[in-house]
Amino acid sequence: MFDKTLAELAGGLAAGDFSSVELTRSYLDRIKNEDAAYNSFITVTEEQALSQARAADERRAAGQAGAFTGLPIAHKDIFCTKGVRTSCASRMLDNFIAPYDATLIGRFNDAGAVMLGKTNMDEFAMGSSNESSFYGPSRNPWDTERVPGGSSGGSAAAVAARLAPAATGTDTGGSIRQPAALCGITGLKPTYGRVSRYGMIAYASSLDQAGPMARTAEDCALMLGVMAGFDKMDSTSVDREVPDYRLTLNDSLEGLKIGLPKEYFAADLNPAIAEQVHNAVREFEKLGATVKEVSLPNSALSVPAYYIIAPAEASSNLSRFDGVRYGYRCEDARDLEDLYKRSRGEGFGDEVKRRIMVGTYALSAGYYDAYYRKAQQVRRLIQQDFAAVLADVDVIMGPTTPQPAFRLGEKTSDPVQMYMEDIYTLALNLAGLPGMSIPCGQSNGLPVGLQIIGDYFSEAKLLNVAHRFQQATDWHQQSPIEG
Amino acid sequence: MQWETVIGLEIHVQLSTRTKIFSGASTAFGAEPNTQACAVDLALPGTLPVLNAEAVRKAVAFGLAVDAEIGKRSVFERKNYFYPDLPKGYQTTQLAEPIVGPGHVDISLDDGSSRRVRIHHAHLEEDAGKSLHEDFHGMSGIDLNRAGTPLIEIVTEPDMRSAEEAVAFARKLHSIVTSIGICDGNMAEGSMRFDVNVSVRPAGSDTLGTRTETKNLNSFRFMEEAIELEVERQIEVIESGGEIVQETRLYNGDTKVARAMRSKEEANDYRYFPCPDLLPVIIDDSYIEAVRETLPMLPDQWKSLFIEQYGLSEYDASVLSSTPVQAAYYEEVAKRCGDGKLAANWVMGELAKYLNQNDTEIGASPVAAEQLGGLLERIKDDTISGNIAKKVFEVMWSEGGSADEIIEAKGLKQVTDTGAIEKIVDEVIANSDKQVEQYKAAPVEKRGKMLGFFMGQVMKATGGKANPGAVTGILKQKLDALCE
Amino acid sequence: MALERSDVEKIAHLARLQIREDEIPGYTGNLSNILALVDQLQAVDTDGVEPMSHPLDAVQRLRADEVTEPDQREALQAAAPAVENGLFLVPKVIE
């Protein structure tokens, strides 16, 4: 059962092969037995999951089941869930029971989905390895000495370890695609504005976007169909029709124009990854695609631009955590300033504090123009690079990460080294474009991810491209789990 | 040395919307603490702002009322600082691209002169909550009901030269924002709050002195007192060889004492940047024209109407146009009785007296404009005298009813029948030998003044109902006949 | 750009973060490295480039002025560290 995809499980529920309660209970049992090795869940919501499963079964019995009814999934612990701890993997919110549901959670609830629990992540989504979690790092199911990537590492590990058939993630600089690549699963970061951000705890508001993480493109299509759509509670949500992503999955790739940015295959790319990516591209040629080299000349600037813009927005977004209305509050504050400084100093971990300080510095008097304004200008240049290339090709392909999963602790002492992990993924968030990572090979037994980038609101095309690849290959079926 | 005072104002005007600027929570005043602070207002993790259409409309209406450029593209920014009444740790406001650009307001001063005060800009922003300092075992209590209430902050150029001018401007602004219905104008509830920037310089100098900012003045009187006190203080400091320190000050209207604020002594670094949760607000010409069409008569428009149509003096027209309710009231009275000056005298005289004595706003006057107009009509057509009208008015105020009803019920109709008046005059003369002798003995030019006694007697005898003009004529004729 | 200890202290104060004395050298080093990374931007010619605040060229949507949020004080204050009479308590605020 655990090797089944969401789509297959949906078929099983529809055919009456098993009930949602049975399905849910078996996943809950599996989490209970196996997750100690991966630490992929922060909170398991057993009681709520079973009650949702019972409701789903009743709904099905009443003939009112939809495509998602009764399917169990996991949610990144960045989404507010009413009555359930929503920690953002931070000591700051260790005791925070959200009093409301994020729009995305509401949409899954309305679709009849079952929430298994809340997955581990980097604290406030700041990290590329899951090591900044207050609850300890999640581990890569392919090698538990290695990181699952981040920040949606718990979601990626849970899906890869077959503890959940699918999970939600968020992606501010690669936080869906990079862990998907490192854990050998399929992840999609939609166009900025496609999925509501209401109730998703903000890291960098102009970059954050939620998306699906699952084993296949088809499952991502199913998930995105529930997640995507206009939300009047989010001013940056886009009021635009959501297509049925499943309908175009099998469209032919004959004549598909693929661009390979030469900057993504530069010297710092691990040769084994380069090889796997090129193999995948040859597979697309077999499916009828044509390939050309393209250039994104400013792509190297995405790292410095991102590490100004994201921390700047974060420094402001995280000011609300002040120990006054919710969240961690230090003991025996001497005065107001002491309350602020110690609550925040004790409540936030190192990486969060670092980014808050970088952002505070970049926005401070005398530095705004040199840092923040400059970064926003470079952001425009990066967007223009993509616009020029996407006028010419249908999708851009390249590696998701410069190397496969690295060892726990390998990069924690040097933040800059950690930041370079996202060199291929950051630019997309700066531009607001959609992108996917799909498994396309292995290197020394570790998965390698192929990144596919498309134009604004081209999610259906990306899913189609990924799905056809998955019909032709079996990298997405490789499992780290024996038996 | 002669000193010149330079004053600029920053005014926070709460917009009278039903809901907050970025959330659907109510803005009603006086609710139990934190019962009107929703998840967005409390800055719960994950919450996001959505802009209130009415706040935008009201800000644009203000811009049009002060003849300002409207920002067709305005951008919200975050002003970052930590304070317990600021739940997000930043205030969402506008800086580089405000919704209202440069405009102006003309004020009239008591000496009859007028002055133009330029508006630098006005921007939309959110109000903060309140810190309550009553003692909760050494703690302060935070009420966030007010947090997120829409404000426009109006910033003037330093164009005022005295407390009198600043107050005249403040009153004028109050009348504008209430006229166009964007603010309830309730100063006691903090609906309008003034920050005054004051500096002094040697008369004739054209460089500005160092200024101080006195914050959060919520009455015209406190504003006047605070400015006068601060000007005095600054002159004293400079004349005794000191220097003015740029600082934020607080004025306590109860104790009449001002002091520098303690909490914001460190130089603030607000780290403004465009708010990524909100997109640029774009306004086009058709929107602006639609707002313009909804604007009611403004004080200046009322004022010119009163001068041109009813021949009022500049001063009377200013007073009567100072609030939209008063202007509309006056206009109705004037229309009804057909005599603008009579109407002005009554609205500013008898009516104002009663309103003052009873601490009542003109909008809540028990005597409606139509009633008063009807009363004045009866003066005009000689049904009653001005004195009787005051009696009618008194009844009207306390018991209600139209002028005609009251005149009828109380039998106050003026006696104009010459025969009847002659009869009474004869009786009065017959019973006033001593006064008649004095009248006869007086030089001709002083006799006029002596008519008063006889007049009083006639009125007494008629219960005030005799037509004073007719009585005067008959008295004069009969007395003078006796002198021949 | 290399930061001094005093810079870190100033930033930490602006951000209201307590940094322990023994942590300051670590932060000073890390932040200096990060700033060295982002300083790459200084070499880029961005003359005349319009800064980009949002990925999408969209405009602000306006909400009707209708009350949609009823009183939920009890639920919303359930997570509060210190509340009395419906007020959030903080150490004394001095103006």
Give the HSE-up count for residue B283: Cα atoms under 13 Å, Cβ half-sphere.
Answer: 24
Selected catalytic residue, list A76, A118, A189, A461? A76
Find out whether B377 and B337 touch, Cβ atoms under 8 Å: yes
pLDDT digits (tens, 9 = 90+) for B94-105: 999 999 999 999
pLDDT for the residue A267: 79
Nearest to B138 among C61, C84, C92 (CB): C92
| pLDDT of res. B399 | 92
Residue B50 and residue A319: Cβ atoms within 8 Å? no
| Confidence (pLDDT) at B266 | 57
Per-residue model confidence as pLDDT tens digits over B126-147? 999 999 877 678 899 999 999 9
- Which residues of chain A make contact with B142, given a CB cutoff of 8 A? 324
- For chain C, positions 2-61, list CB contacts with chain A under 8 A: 7-8, 11-20, 27, 30-31, 33-42, 44, 46, 49-56, 58, 60-61
Could you tell me which of A67, A73, A110 has the C-alpha nearest to residue A246?
A67
Evaluate if residue A364 carries a pLDDT over 80.
yes
Q: What average pLDDT does range A187-197 have in this prediction?
A: 98
Tell me the β-bridge partners of B248.
B213
Global pTM value: 0.89
> What chain A residue is nearest to C64 in terms of C-alpha separation?
A232
Query: Does B466 score more than 90 pLDDT?
Result: no
> Where residue B13 falls among pLDDT bands split at 50, 70, 90?
very high
CA B120 – CA B66 distance, rounded (Å) = 11
**Strand B103-108 to strand B90-94: parallel, antiparallel, or no bridges (unpaired)?**
unpaired
A85 min Cα distance to partner chain C (Å):
11
| Closest residue, chain B, to C82 (C-alpha) | B141
pLDDT for B123 equals 98
Rounded CA separation B443/B453 (Å): 17
* Residues B123/B107, Cβ–Cβ less than 8 Å: no
Q: Which residue has the tokens 């290695």?
A: A146
Do A329 and A323 meet the contact criterion of CB atoms below 8 Å apart? Answer: yes
What is the four-CA torsion angle of A229, A233, A234, A237, rounded to 10 degrees?
Answer: 30
Query: Across residues A441-449, what is the average pLDDT?
Result: 97
What's the average model confidence in pLDDT over B214-232? 95
Between the alpha carbon of residue B470 and those of residues B382, B454, B456, C53, C78, the distances in Å are: 11, 13, 14, 83, 82
Cβ-Cβ contacts under 8 Å, C14 against chain B: 269, 271
Question: What average pLDDT does chain A have?
Answer: 97
Q: Could B46 and A198 be called an inter-chain contact, meaning their C-beta atoms sit closer than 8 Å?
A: yes
Residues A326, C80: C-beta atoms closer than 8 Å? yes
C35 to chain A: nearest residue by CA? Answer: A358
pLDDT digits (tens, 9 = 90+) for B72-83: 999 999 999 999
ipTM above 0.90, yes or no: yes
The answer, yes or no, to whether residue A295 has pLDDT greater than 90, is yes
pLDDT, residue A443, reads 95
Q: Which residues of A touch B88 (CB under 8 A)?
A: 319-320
Question: Residue B263: which pLDDT band, with cuts at 50, 70 and 90?
Answer: low
Task: Tell me the DSSP string of A420-476.
Answer: GGGTTTHHHHHHT--EEEEEEEEETTEEEEEEEE-STT-HHHHHHHHHHHHHH--GG
Alpha-carbon span A24 to A15, nearest angstrom: 16
Identify the pLDDT of residue B267: 64
Binary contact (C92, A325; C-beta < 8 A): no
Closest residue in chain B to residue A360, using alpha carbons only? B271
Question: Can you tell me the distance from the alpha carbon of B307 to that of B302, in angstroms, rounded to the nearest whole number?
Answer: 9
Flag if A235 and B278 touch (Cβ within 8 Å). Answer: yes
Distant-in-sequence, close-in-space partners of B206: CB < 8 Å, separation ≥ 6:
none
Mutate to test the interface with B, among A94, A335, A336 (most CBs of B within 10 A): A336
CA A105 to CA A111: how far, in whole Å?
Answer: 10
**Closest CB to A96 among C44, C79, C92:** C79
Phi and psi at residue A449, to the nearest 5°: -105, 140
For residue A363, how far is the Cα from the chain centroid? 27
The torsion angle over the Cα atoms of residues A189, A193, A196 and A200, rounded to 10 degrees, is 60
pLDDT, tens only, A318-328 = 999 999 999 99
CA of C82 vs chain B CAs: smallest distance (Å):
10
CB-CB neighbors (< 8 A) of C16 in chain A: 319, 322, 337, 340-341, 344
* Residues, chain C: 95
Instruction: Give the least confident one: A115-119, A146-150, B110-114, B274-278.
Output: B110-114
DSSP-assigned states of every residue in B125-175 = EEPP-EEEEEEETTEEEEE-SSTT-EEEEEEE-S-B-SHHHHHHHHHHHHH
For the stretch B332-390, pLDDT in tens is 999 999 999 999 999 999 999 999 999 998 989 999 999 999 999 999 888 888 888 99
Least CB-CB distance to C52: which of A193, A322, A380?
A380
**Residues whose CB is less than 8 angstroms from the CB of residue A343 and which lie 6 or more positions away in sequence, other chains included:** A321, A322, A323, A327, A328, A329, A330, A333
Using CB atoms within 10 A of its CB, is residue B256 exposed (0-12), middle (13-18) or buried (19+)?
exposed
Residues of A in contact with C76 (CB under 8 A): 99
Is there a catalytic annotation at residue A19?
no
Q: pLDDT tens digit string along A405-422? A: 999 999 999 999 999 989
**Is A175 annotated as catalytic?**
yes
How many whole angstroms separate alpha carbon A140 and alpha carbon A154? 9
Q: From the CB of residue C22, how many other CB atoms can be counted at a distance below 10 Å?
A: 7
Distance (Å, rounded) from C-alpha A379 to C-alpha A429? 10
Of A354, C60, A355, A305, whose CA–CA distance to B275 is shortest? C60
Residue A204: how many other CB atoms lie within 10 Å = 24
Give just the sign of the alpha carbon dihedral A14, A15, A21, A26.
negative
Q: How close C9 comes to chain B (CA, Å)? A: 15
Please list, in sequence order, all residues whose beta carbon lies within 8 angstroms of the beta carbon of residue A202, skipping any fewer than 6 positions away: A208, A313, A317, B45, B46, B277
The sign of the dihedral angle between the CA atoms of A349, A350, A353, A359 is negative
- Whether A316 sits inside 8 A of B273 (CB atoms) is yes
| Contact at CB, A315 and C91, closer than 8 angstroms | no
Residue of A nearest to B50 (CA): A235
Q: Is A364 helix (H, G, I), strand (E, B) or coil?
A: coil
Please indicate whether, in this complex, the C-beta atoms of B262 and C95 are within 8 angstroms of each other: yes
Q: Which residues of A268-307 are buried (b: 16+ CB within 10 A; e: fewer)?
A: ebeebbbebbbebbebbeeeebebeebebebbebbbbbbb
Q: Of C20, C78, C93, B445, which is closest to residue A350 (Cα–Cα)? A: C20
- Please give the span between the terminal C-alpha atoms of chain A, in angstroms, as a whole number: 12
Per DSSP (E only), the strands in B295-423 are: none
Euclidean distance between CA atoms C60 and B21, whole angstroms:
13
3-state class percentages of chain B: helix first, strand second, coil last, to nearest 5: 40, 20, 35
What is the distance between the alpha carbons of residues B356 and B57, in angstroms, rounded to a whole number? 35
Q: Is C59 in contact with B279 (Cβ distance < 8 A)? A: yes
Residue type, A99: P
Nearest CA distance, A334 vs chain B (angstrom): 11
- Tens digit of each residue's pLDDT (9 = 90 or more) over B301-325: 899 999 999 999 988 998 898 888 8
* Chain B hits for C64, Cβ within 8 Å: 53-54
Please state, in angstroms and rounded to a whole number, the distance separating the CA atoms of residues B432 and B455. 12
Could you give the 3-state DSSP secondary structure of residue C66?
Answer: coil
Against chain A, the chains showing at least 3 CB pairs within 8 Å are B, C
Q: How far is CA A214 from the centre of its chain?
A: 10
Is there a catalytic annotation at residue A20?
no
Q: State how beta strands A446-453 and A395-399 pair.
A: antiparallel
List the chains bordering chain C where 3 or more Cβ pairs fall under 8 Å.
A, B
pLDDT at C57: 86
* A450: number of Cβ within 10 Å: 26
**Burial level of B410, CB count in 10 A (0-12/13-18/19+)?**
middle
Torsion angle, alpha carbons of B51, B57, B58, B59, to 10 = 80
Write down the pLDDT at residue B231. 97
With CB atoms and an 8 Å threshold, state whether C93 touches B52: no
3-state SS assignment for residue B378: helix
